[in-house]
């Protein structure tokens, strides 16, 4: 199950709650659940009602979820998240969000008062970057305490780490900007820091190399060389997996775009690859058979089908998810999609 923000941690401390226990338990049949993006610090937040993994109360909340999923025989990794410039001053008492450079992504931020235009963020100082590396480390430590099987570093979809990678968002002239090695540096510093608190084999990394015209990201001539470098270098780590997204939009006519991510990176990356975005059961089976990925992550299909794996197995019909309730508070459209067993019981 792919990571999906569902914005149900609607309380002051952004603490995971009982409704979230039900949601994840219903989906334990996925084999491996990767949780919704969970902010590593107060600074890392950028969407309303998303859970965190930096406070003691949050750790206690997540413990109930990991236990319930384990009791059902599932495994669960938590996605560690810092949104960088995708945040909004409304989350920070009017202070600016932080980013590699002071460049507005010109997108929308989902604030407590609804969608608002993003602002020009404040560029991080080097000591602040080091603090963020430590925040990732602490979050990973908390995740272990909360009983997670592992963590996934969210380095995709236009959030902080992705902002460092792309030369249109990162115009720094210090050791965190300029060359591809410098733009990728923070990811490897985070990996090295997290390795100190948990086994490498329990760390996953998520990348979306061909994200274009979304979340403030555009492709340019630096994109492919940067990702080739990052993915090659990830071979130096014994990670649980590398989680890659195929392009979210059609980039076949976009200059500097790689439109076949699994195909390009399978020969380069030596460890496990999870592939995602737009997969059906058939497409998923094909990519595995072709040898271009080891696992497939399903996102939106898991919203409407808590027992998606069982439905695939039985060739059962899939339920349609309601987009209007993806991020709304409350149980509606969250924990009320029935499993096949529940459908039969009701009939």
Interface pattern 87-116 for ligand FMN (x via CB under 6 A): ------------------------------
- Of residues 3, 29, 97, 177, which one binds ligand FMN by CB under 6 A? 3
SS3 assignment for 253-276:
CCCCCCCCHHHHHCCCCCCCEEEE
Would strands 108-111 and 114-117 be described as parallel, antiparallel, or unpaired?
A: antiparallel
Cα dihedral 134→137→138→144 (10° resolution): 180
Compute how many residues bind ligand FMN; rule: CB under 6 A. 21
Is 229 a residue of the active site?
Answer: no
Q: Report the alpha-carbon distance of residue 96 to residue 91 in Å, rounded.
A: 9
Considering only 182-190, 220-228, 257-265, 270-278, which stretch makes contact with ligand FMN by CB under 6 A?
270-278
Strand partners, 207: 244
Closest distance to ligand FMN from the beta carbon of 299 (Å): 3
Element (H, E) at 33: strand 32-39
In the bound state with ligand FMN, the residue whose beta carbon lies nearer, of 237 and 334, is: 334
What's the helix, strand, coil split of the chain in %, to 5?
Answer: 35, 15, 45
Binding mask of the shown chain, residues 271 to 300, with x at each position contacting ligand FMN by CB under 6 A: -----xxxx------------------xxx
Is residue 121 a contact partner of residue 96, using CB atoms and an 8 Å limit? yes
Candidate residues 9, 27, 28, 37; the one interacting with ligand FMN per rule CB under 6 A: 37
Residue whose C-beta lies closest to ligand FMN: 299
Could you tell me the smallest distance in angstroms from the CB atom of residue 174 to ligand FMN? 28
Task: Map residues 198-237 to x or -, x wherever contact with ligand FMN holds by CB under 6 A.
Answer: --------x-------------------------------
The C-alpha atoms of residue 139 and residue 194 are separated, in whole angstroms, by 9
* Residue 202, helix vs strand vs coil: helix
Bridge partners, residue 115, by sequence: 110
Residue ranges that bind ligand FMN, judged by CB under 6 A: 2-5, 36-37, 79, 154, 156-157, 206, 245, 276-279, 298-301, 326
Instruction: List active site positions.
Output: 159
């Amino acid at each position: 199950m792919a990571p999906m923000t569902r914005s149900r941690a609607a309380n002051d401390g952004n603490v995971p709650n009982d409704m979230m226990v039900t949601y994840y338990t219903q989906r334990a049949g996925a084999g491996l659940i990767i949780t919704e993006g969970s902010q590593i610090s107060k600074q890392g937040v950028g969407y309303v009602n998303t859970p965190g993994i930096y406070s003691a109360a949050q750790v206690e909340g997540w413990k109930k979820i990991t236990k319930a999923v384990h009791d059902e025989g599932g495994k669960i990794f938590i996605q560690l998240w810092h949104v960088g410039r995708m945040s909004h001053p409304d989350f920070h008492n009017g202070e600016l969000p932080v980013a590699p450079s002071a460049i507005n992504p010109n997108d929308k931020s989902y604030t407590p008062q609804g969608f608002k235009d993003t602002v020009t963020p404040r560029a991080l100082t080097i000591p602040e970057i080091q603090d963020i590396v430590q925040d990732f480390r602490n979050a990973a430590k908390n995740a272990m305490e909360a009983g997670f099987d592992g963590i996934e570093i969210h380095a995709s979809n236009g959030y902080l780490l992705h902002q460092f990678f792309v030369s249109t968002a990162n115009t720094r002239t210090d050791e965190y900007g300029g060359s591809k090695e410098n733009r990728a540096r923070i990811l490897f510093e985070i990996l090295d820091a997290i390795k100190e608190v948990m086994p490498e084999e329990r760390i996953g990394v998520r990348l979306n190399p061909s994200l274009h015209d979304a979340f403030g990201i555009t492709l340019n001539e630096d994109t492919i060389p940067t990702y080739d470098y990052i993915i090659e270098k990830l071979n130096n780590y014994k990670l649980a997996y590398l989680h890659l997204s195929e392009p979210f939009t059609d980039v076949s006519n976009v200059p500097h775009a790689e439109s076949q991510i699994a195909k390009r990176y399978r020969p380069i990356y030596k460890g496990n690859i999870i592939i995602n975005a737009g997969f059906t059961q058939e497409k998923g089976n094909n990519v595995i058979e072709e040898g271009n990925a080891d696992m497939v992550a399903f996102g939106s299909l898991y919203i409407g089908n808590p027992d998606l794996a069982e439905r695939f197995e039985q060739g059962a019909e899939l339920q349609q998810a309601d987009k209007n309730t993806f991020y709304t508070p409350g149980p509606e459209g969250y924990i009320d999609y029935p499993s096949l067993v529940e459908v039969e019981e009701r009939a």
